[in-house]
Structure 1
Amino acid sequence: MAANKNALIRYKTIDQCLRNNYRQWTLDDLIDACSDALYEYEGKDVYVSKRTVQLDIQTMRSDKLGYNAPIEVYERKYYRYTEDDYSIMNIPVTDKDVKIMNEAIQILREFKDFSLFKEMDGVLQRLEDSVYSSQKDRRSIIHLDKNEQLKGLEYIDVLYEAIQHKKVIEVMYKSFKAHKASKMVVHPQLLKEFNNRWFVLAVSKEKFTTLALDRMIGITTREDLVYKDKELQGDLYYKDVVGVTVSENVRAQKVVFKVDLKNAPYVSTKPFHASQKEIKKTEDGIIFEIQVQHNFELERLILGFGDSIEVLKPAHLRKRIYHKLRTALSQYDDKE
């Protein structure tokens, strides 16, 4: 059972109350304590119902979170622990817990370019020292793909904070096509990672634009400008594309392709897109269908499968892939 932050704050608050044997705790007292704790955490009033705290106590009593808290009601009114030294904070860490936390720590360390995680480094180290001291000489068994030479990672923090605090920024940017860098004033909306590269989706001159962090030369915050918040949801904005290139006012269209029998399992287990469907099995392959916008990243993905894939529909995409493959072949024709 997963518990959200507010629930965990309530459990911890109830635990602190019941550990205080110098006071008798009614249900209303526990409700007030939870409300105060959530107000301190959220910075605003958070409604805590009688039913919510009753369910919290029921959860703490159960094995759902491993607490098995010995909570009893006495005099038909007051709550307390039947064991004087009990606390949910004293629950022992199991071998399974150690394994899960160790894997989580290794993954968190991969995000070292965020200052948020840099500040956590000491916390992670202490956690490792206290929980995994017997395992500290063991090698890591998780490896995430990363490029230590990738440019622009130093701007992740600046962009993250600009989006979080709704700040307009001025970017010195040099695209691959440009001869020299130019200055852009943008309203950053989302950070996006794709294919081991980072991008920022921003508003520039009332239109969305996608900027690669490795093409940035410098960033300055513009305190004199009012930020335009488009309140974008990443999953919704990118739902019809492969990659990062989204065309406004363009509908997603059906793309049908066939993958040979040898490579079809790779496409089945790692779909090109969330909309992917298996349409038909043939003697020499499997036919798939996705519903996406036609963009550069889709073409690169298809071309990456070389002679193991064939685009069947739409005709214009099939023709475009055909010409790209013919051009690629021409690079080798006169060199054998």
Structure 2
Amino acid sequence: MPANRNALIRYRAIDNCLTNRYRQWTLDALIEAVSETLYDYEGMDKGISRRTIQADLQMMRSDKLGYNAPIVVIDKKYYAYADPTYSITQIPLTGQDLGRMSEAVEVLKQFKGFSHFEQLSGVVQKLEAHIYSVTTNQRTIIDFDKNDNLKGLSFLDVLYQAIVQKKAVAITYQSFKAQQPNRFWFHVWWLKEFKNRWFAVGVRGNQSDVYHLALDRILAIETADEIEYRHNADMAPDAYYQHVIGVTVSRTLRPCRVLIQVTAEHAPYVETKPLHPSQQLVERGPEGIIIELSVQLNFELEREILSFGDGMTVLAPARLRERIRQKFRTGVARYEPDSGTKSSLEDDKQMEN
């Protein structure tokens, strides 16, 4: 017998708690968290009984729903997953699940060609490919770019719900440069994906600057009902990223005219996959092409240019050309014999000896 909607919400809420290793979860704490989640999703303000949560924990431990969750009790008080990598969201799909997904895919395919559903095309193809692979026990026939080891993806749903329900969240965050994590109030306005990395975009506390928080640097998220949510009044993502590559946006810099020479070898790739929507062809010749971009000068633009190696040459502006030249000079210096870096060939010879 399939679990009802409220039960599934409770299981997911318990799972969100137990995957948060930065807090110890007593039965009372789980009851409180589940009650808050049910109120958020269903508007239920009636408290959840201890017996209900205890029964939910037993159901999650069992194989009735295919969870077999490794839930243990520590010091006769705290609930946790014995396997820190476990989550009910990671369990394989059942035959019944696959059947329902197949039906859903068939319904979604009916809408192909309608402009309102153009953005669903990739989702439908991913579902089709996964269902085909599992049901036929064969290799997938569509391989999408993904990073299975990317951290923080479990926070996507929490952040999404915070946006939909217009709720502030308390985020524990540690940037790459910080020695210790920092906890602060955050108002999420939208979610942004770039190069297989997800960002929560919004404002901190009462500040006005827009922040991009990488999900892989988030350690914990808690809802903050006592904090009034700061609405995004007039900032649309499409307009916000209009003049940049990536997520580094300056509200003071104007877009700059960037001229780049692309070798004949790399020209077809750049023409068929433009670096930015503003890309225009300026000149074509036997040695390649010259393209023009209208973008802000930021870290992602530099990284994109550097990724082409000797296939690109910045012609203008002069300050960007100089930055790229300096980076190439530094890179070349690391390969010089007196740089202190041993080549892989030297390492191989030492290993053979």
1:245 aligns with 2:212: no
1:297 aligns with 2:300: yes
Measured in 2, the distance between the counterparts of 1:268 and 1:239 equals 19
Q: Kindly provide the CA deviation profile for residues 275-310 of structure 1, in whole angstroms up to 9, marking residues without a partner as x.
A: 000000133110000101111111110000001100
Give 1:247's aligned amino acid: S
What is the correspondence of 1:48-197 to structure 2 with a 5 Å cutoff?
A: 105-108=124-127, 136=136, 139-197=139-197
Measured in 2, the distance between the counterparts of 1:274 and 1:99 equals 25
- What secondary structure does 2:143 align onto? coil
Could you list the runs of 4 or more consecutive aligned residues of structure 1 that deviate by over 4 angstroms after TM superposition?
Answer: 96-104, 135-139
* Superposition TM-score, scaled by structure 1 size: 0.61
Give 1:301's aligned amino acid: E
Identity of aligned residues (%): 43
Q: 2:267 aligns with which of 250, 255, 264?
A: 264
Name the CA shift for 1:322/1:103 in 2 (closer, same or farther; >3 Å). Answer: closer
RMSD: 3.1
Question: Tell me, which stretches of 5 or more residues in structure 2 are unaligned?
Answer: 1-105, 114-119, 344-353
Give 2:331's aligned amino acid: A
Equivalent in the alignment of 1:61: none
Equivalent in the alignment of 2:327: 324
**C-alpha deviation, 1:180, in angstroms:** 1.2
Equivalent in the alignment of 2:76: none
Name the CA shift for 1:213/1:103 in 2 (closer, same or farther; >3 Å). Answer: closer
Q: How many residues align?
A: 224
Name the CA shift for 1:103/1:248 in 2 (closer, same or farther; >3 Å). Answer: closer
Measured in 2, the distance between the counterparts of 1:155 and 1:291 equals 34
Q: 1:208 aligns with which of 201, 207, 210?
A: 210
**C-alpha deviation, 1:136, in angstroms:** 4.3
- What secondary structure does 2:190 align onto? strand
Measured in 1, the distance between the counterparts of 2:298 and 2:332 equals 22
Name the CA shift for 1:207/1:271 in 2 (closer, same or farther; >3 Å). Answer: same
**C-alpha deviation, 1:184, in angstroms:** 2.1
- What secondary structure does 1:172 align onto? strand
CA contact (8 A) 1:202 1:209 kept: yes
**C-alpha deviation, 1:249, in angstroms:** 2.3
Q: 2:289 aligns with which of 286, 290, 299?
A: 286
Q: Kindly provide the CA deviation profile for residues 110-140 of structure 1, in whole angstroms up to 9, marking residues without a partner as x.
A: 9xxxxxxxxxxxxx97xx8xxx99x846653
Name the CA shift for 1:223/1:143 in 2 (closer, same or farther; >3 Å). Answer: same
Name the CA shift for 1:107/1:315 in 2 (closer, same or farther; >3 Å). Answer: same
Measured in 1, the distance between the counterparts of 2:190 and 2:237 equals 7
- What secondary structure does 2:227 align onto? coil
Equivalent in the alignment of 2:219: 217
Give 1:219's aligned amino acid: I
Measured in 2, the distance between the counterparts of 1:296 and 1:151 equals 22
Measured in 1, the distance between the counterparts of 2:224 and 2:122 equals 40
Q: 2:318 aligns with which of 304, 311, 315?
A: 315
Equivalent in the alignment of 1:70: none
Q: Which protein has the larger Cα radius of gyration, Structure 1 or Structure 2?
A: 1
Measured in 1, the distance between the counterparts of 2:124 and 2:141 equals 12
Q: Kindly provide the CA deviation profile for residues 17-67 of structure 1, in whole angstroms up to 9, marking residues without a partner as x.
A: xxxxxxxxxxxxxxxxxxxxxxxxxxxxxxxxxxxxxxxxxxxxxxxxxxx
Give 1:173's aligned amino acid: Y
Measured in 2, the distance between the counterparts of 1:264 and 1:183 equals 46
Measured in 2, the distance between the counterparts of 1:305 and 1:151 equals 28
Equivalent in the alignment of 2:238: 235
Q: Kindly provide the CA deviation profile for residues 195-231 of structure 1, in whole angstroms up to 9, marking residues without a partner as x.
A: 0110111112121111100001011111111111114
Give 1:167's aligned amino acid: K
Give 1:222's aligned amino acid: A
CA contact (8 A) 1:187 1:202 kept: yes
* Superposition TM-score, scaled by structure 2 size: 0.58
Q: Bigger CA drift: 190-199 or 223-232? A: 223-232
Equivalent in the alignment of 1:37: none
Name the CA shift for 1:282/1:105 in 2 (closer, same or farther; >3 Å). Answer: closer
Give 1:210's aligned amino acid: H
Give 1:283's aligned amino acid: P
Measured in 2, the distance between the counterparts of 1:98 and 1:240 equals 32
CA contact (8 A) 1:103 1:142 kept: no
